[in-house]
Every structure is written in C-alpha cells, then in structure tokens.
Amino acid sequence: MHDLKHLDAEAKKLMMELEGKTLKPRERAAIPPQEMPAQDAQKRIGNMNEVARGYTEAQVRLESMRCLQCKNAPCIKGCPVEIDIPRFIKHAEDGKFAESLAVIKESSLLPAICGRVCPQETQCQEFCTVGKMLKDVNKAVSIGRIERYVADVELHGGNPIMPEVASPTGKRVAIVGSGPAGITAAADIRKAGHEVTIFEAFHKPGGVMVYGIPEFRLPKAIVEYEINNLKQMGVEIKTNFLVGRTRKLRDLIDKDGYNAVFIGSGAGLPKFMHIEGENLIGVLSANEYLTRSNLMKAYNREHAHTPIFVSRVVGVLGGGNVAMDAARTAVRLGAEKVYVVYRRTEKEMPARVEEVAHAKEEGVEFLLLQSPKRILGNEKQQVRAMEVLSYKLGEPDDSGRRRPIAIEGSERELPVDTVIVSIGNDSNPLLEKTTEGLATNKWGNIIINDDCSTSIDRIYAGGDIVLGAATVILAMGQGRKAAASINALLASESGD
Amino acid sequence: MNRILAKRQLSDEVFLMKIEAPLIAQERQPGQFIILQLDTDFGERIPLTIADADPEEGSITIIFQTVGNTSHRLAAMETGDAIENLLGPLGHPTDIRKYGKVVCVGGGIGVAPLHPIAKAMKEAGNEVTIIIGARNRKLVIFEEEMGRIADKLIVCTDDGSYGRKALVTGPLKEVCETWNPDLAVAIGPPIMMKFCAETTRPFGVHTLVSLNTIMIDGTGMCGGCRVTVGGETKFVCVDGPEFDGHLVDFDNMMLRLGTYTREEEADHHACHLDLALEEDHGNA
Ligand SMILES: Cc1cc2nc3c(=O)[nH]c(=O)nc-3n(C[C@H](O)[C@H](O)[C@H](O)COP(=O)(O)OP(=O)(O)OC[C@H]3O[C@@H](n4cnc5c(N)ncnc54)[C@H](O)[C@@H]3O)c2cc1C
Ligand SMILES: Cc1cc2nc3c(=O)[nH]c(=O)nc-3n(C[C@H](O)[C@H](O)[C@H](O)COP(=O)(O)OP(=O)(O)OC[C@H]3O[C@@H](n4cnc5c(N)ncnc54)[C@H](O)[C@@H]3O)c2cc1C
Ligand code: SF4
Ligand code: SF4
Ligand code: FES
C-alpha cells in the first residue's frame, strides 16, 4: 500500500490528466490525498533506516494541487512560525522547488526537520480548508510532507542558500544547548554580525533531535547538515561543556565577556511514576533507552561499546511521541512483544497520528485505559511482570481531556521483562540550582517576559526549558524571538 | 584538546593519568567527577572521580582500574595522546567543613576518590584518621599521599601481605569504639561501603558514601544512575555522588550495577581479542 513505485505510478498517471488544466476548487479537493511511501513494515523492523521515504516529484505536485490557495489562508495561523503556506505550496505545484524553499526559509530555519516531525494534524493542517471540506483532518493538504520534499531537494545536492552574515560588531553571545531553540537563536544572532558560541553538554550537538528522536524517524545526517551550516556561518560550537558546572551561567557574562546569553537547555529530566518496583532491573526511562540507542549507537552491537538492555517482552508506559519512539526502538532491537500501556484512549494520545499508525503496523500492541499499579520482580530483582489496573473515562478535566478513573478490583498481571517509562520530562534543575536569581515556576520552567528575557539582565531563554516538553517548531519559534530581542538589545548599545 | 600529560601505573590494574583540562581544574571541588569518552561515534561514556587538580597547570588527575572495555583502552593510551571527550566537573561537591574528628575509609581503587576529600577535610581543620584497605600488597595505592594528610593512618590487606590482616571494617569498628569520630567517609566497592555503614550505624556516626552507579549523561537527563535513598529515588550524578550511607539501599544498587553484565562481558572479551591482535601485529 505504501510502495513507492506503485504510488509514484498512480500519481504520474493522474498528473498527465490534470497538467495544464485550470482546476476548480472542487476538482482540487477531489484529488486523492497522496499517501506517504514507506518502507515495508516487515522489512523496516529489521533496520534503523527512515520509515517514511518522502514523496516523489509527481506526488508532491499532485498534493500541492489539492491546495485551494485560500485568500485568508487559515493554515498559516496554525503554524507557530507562520510560514506563508499557500505561497510555498504554489511554487511546489509549479515544480519550482528552490523558490518554494526560499519562501519557507523566510520563517523557518529547519524545514527538513519540521516537515518530518511537526505534529501537523494539530498545527497547520488542523485549520486547512480542504480538511474541513472533507470532514477529516487527515485529508487536509499534507503541508508538512510538501515542506519536507522541497527541503530535501536542497539536502540532496541542490544549491544550499547560505544566509548572509553582517559585518562583525565585536559583540559576543553565548548559547546554552544545541537543540532546535539554540540552533535557531545562534543562526539569527550570527546573521546580525555578532560572534556566537554554543555550549553543549553532550559530545554531539543537536539536542533531542540527536539523542531522543530515532534515526528511523529523523536521520541524523539531516541534523548534522544543519549543524554544519551553522559552523559555516561562523558559529562556534563547544561540546562537553555543562553550563552551571564547567562554568557558572553568570560567569559567562561577568568573567568571559559575553554580552548576552540565550538558554535553550531543554526539558531533560525524566518523570517516573513513583510506584513500587520502579528501581528493579529492567525498568528504564525512555530517555536512557533512546540515548543509548541513538546517541551512543548501541543498536549497532558490532561497533558500539555502550550496551543496551536486551528484552523479550516490553511494556512502554505513556502515549506520546516519546513512548512511540521507545516502543518502535524496542521492536527494532529484537523484542518479541511490545505493549504500549496508556491510561486513556487512542483519541487522547498526544503522539502524532502517523507514529501511532506506524507503531501498529510494526506489531506494537496498545493496551488502552490501563495503567500499572506496581512493577513486580523475581528473586534477583529483575522485572517479571506489571500489575495493571483498568480505567474508564470520566468527566473532562482542566485540559479538556476526559479524566481516567480506575476501576476497582480490575488488577491483573501482565508478564514483561522490561518496563520503559515514557510519561514525559520535567525541566532539568541544574541551571536553576547553580544560578542565583534565575526565576522559575513550580515545574522548574524558566519564567520569561514577552521578549524572552529572564529575571537576570542579559539572559534570555526559550524552548522546552520555558514551555515544558513541547515541540521542535515551538522551540524554534522561541529561539527566533529571543534572537530578535538580543539583536535589538545589542544594536541599541552600539551607539558609538 | 584533553591531552594526557603524564601516566603512571600504580599496580597491575590501576593507572594514574594527568590530563589537560584547564576549565575543569579551575572549577572542580572535592567529591566531583568527570565523564570521558574515547571516541565520539561508538565510545562508551564512563565516570571517573577527579582525584586531584592543578589549576595553575590546568590539569586534573584521574586514577582508574581496568575493568572493562573503556578502562582497558584508556590504560593503553600514552602521554601526548588526546582524549576525545571529557565533561566535568560533575556532581555535588562534598560538604567540607569543620566536623571535629573525621575517619576516612578507602577500599581498593576507592582510595583515589577519597584522597581529595581527606585532604580538604584536613585543610578545614579536622583531625583525620585514614584507613586504607586492599586485597593484597600489590593493590595498595596512595599510601604515601594519605600518610602525609592523616593524623593516623591504618593500612590493611585481606590476605595480610601488607599492614594489618583485616577488612577495613575491623579497624573502623575500633576507631568508632575508641576515638568517637564525628563523621565517617567511606569510599570503595559497594559491598565495602555497605558494611562500613553497618559498622558505624550502632555508634550513630554519620557516614558519607560515594556511589558508583552506571551512568550515561551525568547531567540528570537519563535516570540510569538512580538509587533508592531513604525510600526515595535519587539521581547519583546530580543529587550525589555522596549520600548518607545509613539510608542507601545497597542491595538494590549492587544488583542494578549488574544490569548489563552479560553484554559487557561479551564486549570486554571482544576488546581483549582486539588488543591481543594489535599486539600480534606489533610484533610482526
Ligand atoms: C523521544 C522524543 C520524541 C520527540 N518527538 C517529537 C516530534 O515528533 N515532534 C516534535 O515537534 N517534537 C518532538 N519532541 C519534542 C522536541 O524534541 C522538543 O520539544 C525540542 O527538541 C525542544 O528543543 P530545545 O531546543 O528546547 O531543547 P533540546 O532539544 O532538549 O536541547 C537542549 C540541549 O541542551 C543541552 N543542555 C542542557 N543543559 C545544558 C547545560 N547546562 N549546559 C550545556 N548544554 C545543556 C542538552 O544536552 C541538549 O542537547 C520529542 C521529544 C522526545 C524526547
Ligand atoms: C561517580 C563515579 C565515580 C567513579 N570514580 C572512579 C574512579 O575514580 N576510578 C575508577 O577506577 N572507577 C571509578 N568509577 C567506576 C567506573 O566508572 C567504572 O569502572 C567504569 O565505568 C567501567 O568502564 P569499562 O568500560 O572499563 O567497563 P565496562 O565494560 O563498562 O564494565 C565492566 C564491568 O563493570 C561493571 N560496571 C559498569 N559500570 C560500573 C560502575 N560505574 N561501577 C562499577 N562497576 C561497573 C559492569 O557491570 C561490568 O561487569 C566511578 C563511578 C562513578 C559513578
Ligand atoms: S513548520 Fe510545522 S506547523 Fe509550520 S507549516 Fe511546517 S509542518 Fe506546518
Ligand atoms: S488552508 Fe489548506 S487549502 Fe487553504 S491555503 Fe492553507 S493549505 Fe491551502
Ligand atoms: S547519569 Fe543520566 S541521570 Fe544520572
């Protein structure tokens, strides 16, 4: 069904019929939504390669024809960085991919990444007129897939558009963290001619995009490509540097002479459920499991020195993207059976629809309206089972989602040998603890003003450390905003 | 670049290395550690305590035992070689102040991480008794350095080949009985720390232990290093590495240390094969 050759042939046939015709809106909406070609499920569970292979040229042009070029363009307000969606899609329809990408790059720095990982169905595509006409958000114009296609054209040998860097201002800015927020802020600040240094705790830059999101969803080569572009712009990247420990945050300004700092340190503190048995052997956070596999390349058992837990039956707790990534990684690492255990129903699951569908195709089994009460171990304190409790949905809570209510007496044992806890991340408290006067809220998120400034003069923040675990595009959007504020601050001070 | 400035073999399995790391040398405090990785693509990240530092020279000293793949490969490196990745200083520094009488107990390689703490305790005006223990004479390290710090030094070996024939818990009990220490610091293999804590418990002597769990990031991101302390989950890399020894669930911690034993053994085996092959080639 997702076979590339077949999908391409169908698209070409239809293209021949439609090319050159002036289409009415009804006719555009009648074009079948283009399926994403994907690796066959049976094959892909044996490798780490990207699952979604990307549209073919005929497909991307057909999908672009589905766009009605709405005057009011409701899709734009669904995009956190307000990409001019109809305009880039129009160029793609005409096969002018470089022009199309140029439109996207006016607003977004990382289209190849966002085109892959944005939760489009709750952002741009949620508001799409075509989706509304067809009464199904999954039949909206596939804005993200088109975005990915035009971005990939550049990656695959097109001419990269190098942003221009203004002449040196003599000012220096430090960036903490090299995730999407940090990368974006660095690029925008560098463009204004300031010197920029990124400090990254890990040995590789990229943030969650390299240590969390797996290769089969976001190839690491793409992140590396973006990092290389940054370096070519003259941004310096210092890895193995933990701000707060290697150097105190304030010292970057007071002792090292940086004129401003942007904090994009992410939300890296794994939540646990605080239930009995959580420290048994075989209970891991998704962060640990995914970091071992992605960043440390433990899936490559032949070359990597970092081991990874060998599992037969895995229970993944949670229903977000992180849970899907952990479950699908476990499948690829050879688990015989993988369950996703989630308290609510599929409708409430925060994971992207595409990831849930892919997980199912790969044999992951969803145990919905269930939650573990405790984890049971054997005499060697190794996990042997989870005791799960069934739930039903009650009244909506503050978040508007219906609250799950435990059904008393419904406990049962689910035999598993591994439990991967993927119930989300809080903010890492390290910077707060080592920096006097850095204001945070009760979840440990840094508090910012409208211009992304923090409680400390010259220090700005954005991304997950401010928003809590959010999305790549939101982190990017905040990186942009903070960069604009920092650039304005520095410009106002260069009055000599 | 983190160049190796000096290398010394202290015993069959124990090596000392001085490494160029100017920023870490400036910021580090007793009780803190680093994480190093030998190659960016496939290397493992391993934690090692900062045994000493020289801010002027911009260097730190590590002392490590060869146990598995990475420590063996590190031991095979020479002065002038560079370590690709070095992160630190990590962890919560030791709470150094004047307690009065402090007994410091180091077992095996644990003597290395104990050294900066003992030194700082002495400098803070404490009276310091140091007990160092090892399986046999060849494994005793840092005797001279510790001798310079200690008001009283007791050396013991399991087999009696040097010093007193005893486990460290023997002299520790006597010290508790006769000297009334205000604080005990015990660092060494988990089993030793567990029994040191059991030894001091009846005397009500507050006892710090430094835990050596498995780690990846060392920044609080993965939770792989977690232990149960007083019924609560703590992350050793950020909340520790030092904890109240009377509250640590050592049995769970020891079992968790074995989480990857099977896989590590396979890797260790492969690494010895590699090294053997390299030697063969070197000879050819
Ligand atoms: C498994 C997983 C799957 C996800 N899937 C999706 C998805 O499909 N779509 C989507 O939109 N979002 C997804 N997300 C969320 C998304 O990745 C994050 O919202 C986004 O990466 C946040 O970006 P950031 O720049 O704020 O921080 P991060 O990407 O977290 O980067 C922060 C960086 O800062 C470094 N750092 C932290 N503290 C310090 C310090 N003190 N000194 C120096 N460096 C420091 C960290 O090592 C890290 O590299 C996923 C997240 C996870 C964990
Ligand atoms: C905060 C901290 C400070 C430390 N300081 C020192 C030090 O100063 N000197 C020193 O020699 N060692 C120290 N260690 C222990 C050191 O990190 C391990 O010996 C090292 O990770 C082993 O790596 P490897 O690749 O050589 O062996 P591996 O192949 O990773 O492991 C070999 C065997 O050791 C076990 N193992 C793995 N990790 C650890 C660990 N962290 N502790 C104990 N056993 C382990 C494995 O289960 C396996 O059986 C410290 C550990 C921590 C957490
Ligand atoms: S960046 Fe994300 S939200 Fe914006 S248009 Fe692209 S896919 Fe949609
Ligand atoms: S709402 Fe949909 S159809 Fe309208 S312009 Fe946006 S993408 Fe095109
Ligand atoms: S080593 Fe990852 S949280 Fe401590």
pLDDT digit string (tens) for B139-195?
A: 888 899 999 999 999 999 999 999 999 999 999 999 999 999 999 999 999 999 999
Closest Cα in chain A, distance from residue B179 (Å) = 37
Tell me how far apart the alpha carbons of residues B234 and B209 are, in angstroms, rounded to a whole number: 14
| pLDDT at residue number A309 | 84
State the average pLDDT over residues A50-70. Answer: 96
B273 is a domain residue: no
Tell me how far apart the alpha carbons of residues B45 and B34 are, in angstroms, rounded to a whole number: 10
| A463 Rama class: left (phi>0) / alpha (psi -120 to 50) / beta | left
On whether both B84 and B198 belong to a single domain, the answer is no
Check pLDDT > 80 for residue A93.
yes
**B158: contact with A, CB 8 A cutoff:** no
**Domain final residue, candidates B90, B125, B146:** B90
Cα–chain center distance at A309: 25
Tell me how far apart the alpha carbons of residues A145 and A143 are, in angstroms, rounded to a whole number: 6
**A307: contact with B, CB 8 A cutoff:** yes
Residue A317 host element (H or E) = strand A313-317
Q: Side by side, which strands form the sheet with A260-263?
A: A236-238, A195-199, A172-176, A260-263, A459-461
Model confidence at A1, pLDDT cuts 50, 70, 90, reads low
B272 is a domain residue: no
On whether both B130 and B254 belong to a single domain, the answer is yes
On whether both B133 and B194 belong to a single domain, the answer is yes
Ordered by start, the domain boundaries in chain A are 4-157, 172-268+426-494, 272-423
Tell me how far apart the alpha carbons of residues A423 and A431 are, in angstroms, rounded to a whole number: 23
pLDDT mean across residues, chain A: 93
Tell me how far apart the alpha carbons of residues A273 and A375 are, in angstroms, rounded to a whole number: 11
CATH dotted code for A172-268+426-494: 3.50.50.60
On whether both B142 and B242 belong to a single domain, the answer is yes
Any idea what the CATH number is for the domain that residue B70 is in?
A: 2.40.30.10
Q: Which CATH architecture has domain A272-423?
A: 3-Layer(bba) Sandwich (3.50)
Residues forming beta bridges with residue B233, ordered by sequence position: B228
Ligand 5 atom closest to residue A287's alpha carbon, by position in its atom list: 2
B271 is a domain residue: no
**CA distance readout (Å), B172 to A319, A320, A322, B249:** 52, 52, 48, 21
| pLDDT at residue number A495 | 62
Report the residue of chain B nearest A418, measured CA to CA: B259
Give A90 Cα–ligand 4 centroid separation in angstroms: 10
On whether both B71 and B106 belong to a single domain, the answer is no
On whether both B35 and B125 belong to a single domain, the answer is no
B77 is a domain residue: yes
State the average pLDDT over residues A468-493. Answer: 94
Contact in structure between B24 and B88 (CB atoms under 8 Å): yes
| pLDDT at residue number B262 | 66
Tell me how far apart the alpha carbons of residues B72 and B43 are, in angstroms, rounded to a whole number: 13
Q: Judged by CB atoms within 8 Å, which residues 18-57 of B form the interface with A? A: 23-24, 27, 37, 40-45
Contacts 24+ apart (CB under 8 A), B118-122: B118/B146, B118/B149, B118/B150, B118/B185, B119/B30, B119/B149, B120/B30, B120/B94, B120/B96, B121/B96, B121/B185, B122/B149, B122/B150
Contact in structure between B84 and B147 (CB atoms under 8 Å): no
pLDDT digit string (tens) for A345-398?
A: 998 899 988 899 999 999 999 999 999 999 999 988 999 999 999 999 888 888
Q: Which residues from chain B sit within 8 angstroms of residue A241, using beta carbons?
A: 23, 87
Residue A174 host element (H or E) = strand A172-176
Q: Which residues from chain A sit within 8 angstroms of residue B221, using beta carbons?
A: 268-270, 287, 291, 428
Any idea what the CATH number is for the domain that residue B188 is in?
A: 3.40.50.80
Among A291, A321, A465, the mutation site with the greatest number of ligand 1 atoms within 8 A of its Cβ is: A321
Give A141 Cα–ligand 4 centroid separation in angstroms: 7
| pLDDT at residue number A439 | 95
pLDDT digit string (tens) for A310-354?
A: 899 999 999 999 999 999 999 999 999 999 999 999 988 999 888
**CA distance readout (Å), A474 to A108, A427, B74:** 11, 16, 42
**Domain final residue, candidates B37, B65, B90:** B90
Which residue ranges have their beta carbon within 6 Å of ligand 2?
B 33, 44, 46-49, 63-65, 67-71, 109, 112-113, 212-215, 241, 257-258, 260-261, 264, 267-268
On whether both B129 and B172 belong to a single domain, the answer is yes
Q: Which residues from chain B sit within 8 angstroms of residue A243, using beta carbons?
A: none
| pLDDT at residue number B259 | 86
On whether both B190 and B148 belong to a single domain, the answer is yes
B36 is a domain residue: yes
Domain count, chain B: 2
Tokens (6 digits) for B21: 């790391």
B113 is a domain residue: yes
CB atoms within 10 A of CB A473: 25
Rg, C-alpha atoms of chain A: 24
Tokens (6 digits) for A46: 């044996």
State the average pLDDT over residues A196-216. Answer: 96
Domain that residue B155 falls in: 101-258
Size of interface A-B (CB pairs under 8 A): 118
Check pLDDT > 80 for residue A49.
yes
Q: Which of A19, A83, A107 is nearest to A57 (CA)?
A: A19
CB atoms within 10 A of CB A122: 14
On whether both B131 and B217 belong to a single domain, the answer is yes
On whether both B72 and B172 belong to a single domain, the answer is no
Which among A245, A279, A300 has CB closest to B27? A245
Which among B42, B228, B259 has CB closest to A304? B42
Average pLDDT, consecutive stretches of 10 residues, N- to C-terminus, chain B (284 residues): 92 92 94 94 93 94 92 94 95 94 94 92 96 91 91 93 92 94 96 96 96 93 94 92 96 89 62 42 37
B270 is a domain residue: no
Tokens (6 digits) for A305: 């020195």
CATH dotted code for A4-157: 1.10.1060.10
On whether both B127 and B149 belong to a single domain, the answer is yes
| pLDDT at residue number A21 | 87
Ligand nearest to the CA of residue B225, numbered in listed order: 5
pLDDT digit string (tens) for A419-468?
A: 999 998 888 889 999 999 999 999 899 999 999 999 999 999 999 999 98
pLDDT digit string (tens) for A78-88?
A: 999 999 999 99
Ligand 3, atom 1: nearest CA belongs to which residue? A114
Tell me how far apart the alpha carbons of residues A78 and A399 are, in angstroms, rounded to a whole number: 19
Burial degree of B99 (CB within 10 A; 0-12, 13-18, 19+): middle
B132 is a domain residue: yes
Residues forming beta bridges with residue A388, ordered by sequence position: A372, A412
User: Do A4-157 and A172-268+426-494 fold alike per CATH?
Assistant: no
State the average pLDDT over residues A97-120. Answer: 93
Burial degree of B29 (CB within 10 A; 0-12, 13-18, 19+): middle
pLDDT digit string (tens) for A4-44?
A: 999 999 999 999 999 888 899 989 999 999 999 999 999 99
| pLDDT at residue number A402 | 82
On whether both B161 and B218 belong to a single domain, the answer is yes
